[in-house]
Structure 1
Amino acid sequence: MDATTLYSIGELSRRTGLPVRTIRFYSDAGVVAPTTRTPAGYRLYDLDALLRLELLRTLRELGMDLATVQRVLDRELSVADVAAAHADATDVRIRVLQRRRSVLRAVAAGGAGPEEITLMHRLTQLSGEERRRLTHDFVEGTFGTFDTADADHAAAAMVRAALPDLPDDPSGEQVAAWVELAVLVGDEDFRARIRRTAGRQAAGRPLDIESAAGDELMDFTRRKVTDAMESGIDPRSDRGAPVIDDLVHRFAEVFARTPDREFREWMAQQFEEAHDPRVDRYWRLVWIVNGWQVVPNLLPVYPWLVQALRA
Structure 2
Amino acid sequence: MNGHTLHSIGELARRTGATVKTVRFYSDRGLVPPTDRSPAGYRLYDHRAVARLDLVLTLRDLGLDLAAIRKVMDRELPLSEVAATHAEALDVQIRVLRLRRAVLSVVARRGATPEETHLMHRLATLTEAQRRRLIADFLDAALGGAGIGPGVEGIMRSMTPQLPDDPDAEQLQAWVELAELAEDPGFRAHVRQLARDEAAGRTPGTPPSRHDDLAAIVRDRTAPAVAAGIEPASRRADPVVAALTAGCAHLFEGRDDAESRRRLLTRLEAMNDPRRERYLALLAVINGWPGPESLHPVLGWSIDALRARGSRR
% same residue: 44
CA contact (8 A) 1:178 1:289 kept: yes
Question: Could you tell which deviates more after superposition, 33-42 or 56-65?
Answer: 33-42
| Counterpart secondary structure, 1:255 | coil
The answer for the alignment partner of 1:49 in structure 2 is 49
Alpha-carbon displacement from aligned partner over 1:273-295 (angstroms, at most 9, x marks no partner): 8x484545432332244343335
Instruction: List aligned pairs for 1:148-227, cutoff 5 A.
Output: 154-166=151-163, 168-171=167-170, 177-195=174-192, 197-198=194-195, 206=202, 223-227=220-224
Paired AA for residue 83 in structure 2: A
Query: For residues 175 and 140 of structure 1, what CA distance do their matches in structure 2 show?
Result: 23
Query: For residues 228 and 21 of structure 2, what CA distance do their matches in structure 1 show?
Result: 72
Q: CA deviation at 1:135?
A: 2.8
For these two proteins, the number of residue pairs brought into alignment is: 290
CA contact (8 A) 1:120 1:175 kept: no
CA contact (8 A) 1:287 1:294 kept: yes
| Counterpart secondary structure, 2:39 | coil
Alpha-carbon displacement from aligned partner over 1:147-197 (angstroms, at most 9, x marks no partner): x999677424432244224562233xx565433321121134533554565
Q: CA deviation at 1:239?
A: 8.9
Paired AA for residue 181 in structure 1: L
CA contact (8 A) 1:230 1:297 kept: no
The answer for the alignment partner of 1:212 in structure 2 is none
The answer for the alignment partner of 1:113 in structure 2 is 112
Q: 1:36 to 1:298 in 2, by over 3 A?
A: same
| Counterpart secondary structure, 1:44 | strand
The answer for the alignment partner of 1:211 in structure 2 is none
2:39 matched to 1:39?
yes
Q: 1:157 to 1:196 in 2, by over 3 A?
A: farther
CA contact (8 A) 1:103 1:120 kept: yes
Q: CA deviation at 1:78?
A: 1.5
Q: 1:45 to 1:199 in 2, by over 3 A?
A: farther
CA contact (8 A) 1:3 1:46 kept: yes
Query: For residues 67 and 24 of structure 1, what CA distance do their matches in structure 2 show?
Result: 17
2:74 matched to 1:78?
no
2:8 matched to 1:8?
yes
Alpha-carbon displacement from aligned partner over 1:108-142 (angstroms, at most 9, x marks no partner): 6x453344555445544556565445334434665
Query: For residues 294 and 234 of structure 1, what CA distance do their matches in structure 2 show?
Result: 28
Give the alignment's TM-score, normalised by structure 1. Answer: 0.68
Query: For residues 239 and 119 of structure 2, what CA distance do their matches in structure 1 show?
Result: 43
Q: 1:271 to 1:105 in 2, by over 3 A?
A: closer
Q: 1:284 to 1:111 in 2, by over 3 A?
A: closer
CA contact (8 A) 1:178 1:285 kept: yes
CA contact (8 A) 1:240 1:308 kept: no
CA-atom RMSD, angstroms? Answer: 4.5
Query: For residues 97 and 235 of structure 2, what CA distance do their matches in structure 1 show?
Result: 47
Alpha-carbon displacement from aligned partner over 1:191-234 (angstroms, at most 9, x marks no partner): 35545655886x896279xxxxxx7xx99865322324545778
Q: Structure 2: give runs of 5+ residues left out of the alignment.
A: 205-210, 309-313
Paired AA for residue 290 in structure 1: N
CA contact (8 A) 1:138 1:185 kept: yes
Query: For residues 176 and 283 of structure 2, what CA distance do their matches in structure 1 show?
Result: 11
Q: Structure 1: give runs of 5+ residues left out of the alignment.
A: 209-214
CA contact (8 A) 2:230 2:237 kept: no
Query: For residues 22 and 131 of structure 1, what CA distance do their matches in structure 2 show?
Result: 46
Q: 1:29 to 1:264 in 2, by over 3 A?
A: same
The answer for the alignment partner of 1:19 in structure 2 is 19
Query: For residues 38 and 249 of structure 1, what CA distance do their matches in structure 2 show?
Result: 100
Q: 1:64 to 1:11 in 2, by over 3 A?
A: same
CA contact (8 A) 2:101 2:169 kept: no
CA contact (8 A) 1:143 1:195 kept: yes
Give the alignment's TM-score, normalised by structure 2. Answer: 0.68
Q: 1:105 to 1:204 in 2, by over 3 A?
A: same
